């Protein structure tokens, strides 16, 4: 997988969480993911297509981190993952992808992005839109973890 694709998404995620939710996330070591089961409780998934490749990105939040993110962004949050939280995760997925799309464009990669889909629930699955390996990067915070996953065609 092209590391040129990964860094803009990671950088954009850290920026969105810092500026929008006043929350600092700490990236952990990337690893290959071997199954489709999400690591957290609510996920946004977005497909991407360019002339060079196609792929997808997902951002998954542990429930407590998703709730803390909403509280950081709007000052209040529900007690559990609900429609407001799933909408928020979809919006964050859009913001992260938009920021990464700008950075990739500066490097000569023009991606078209789909509308994000959001899935939630214990042990929900994420089906990436590419044939390549799935790379997952855990991001830790005092409220729980977020996970960014990428998969691009080879």
Looking at residue 52, its pLDDT comes to 80
pLDDT at 1 over 70: no
Question: Strand, helix or coil at 44?
Answer: strand
CB 59 within 8 A of CB 116: no
For 70, phi then psi, to 5°, come to -60, -45
Cβ atoms of 49 and 5 closer than 8 Å: no
Quote the mean pLDDT of the chain: 93
Give the pLDDT confidence of 34-63 residue by residue, as tens digits.
999 999 999 999 998 888 888 899 999 999
**Do residues 98 and 13 lie in contact, with contact meaning Cβ atoms separated by under 8 Å?**
no
How many Cα atoms sit within 13 Å of 91 on the Cβ side? Answer: 13
Q: Is the pLDDT score of 146 beyond 60?
A: yes
32 has pLDDT over 60: yes
């Amino acid at each position: 997988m092209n590391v040129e694709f990964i860094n803009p998404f990671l950088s954009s995620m850290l920026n969105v969480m810092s500026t929008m939710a006043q929350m600092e996330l700490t990236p952990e070591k990337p690893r290959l993911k071997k199954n489709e089961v999400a690591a957290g409780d609510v996920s946004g998934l977005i497909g991407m297509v360019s002339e060079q490749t196609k792929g997808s990105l997902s951002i998954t939040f542990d429930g407590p981190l998703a709730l803390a993110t909403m509280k950081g962004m709007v000052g209040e949050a529900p007690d559990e993952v609900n429609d407001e939280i799933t909408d928020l995760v979809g919006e964050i997925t859009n913001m992260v992808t938009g920021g990464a799309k700008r950075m990739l464009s500066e490097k000569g990669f023009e991606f078209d992005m789909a509308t994000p889909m959001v899935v939630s629930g214990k042990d929900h699955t994420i089906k990436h839109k590419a044939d390549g390996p799935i790379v997952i990067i855990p991001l830790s915070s005092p409220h729980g973890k977020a996970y960014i996953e990428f998969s691009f065609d080879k």
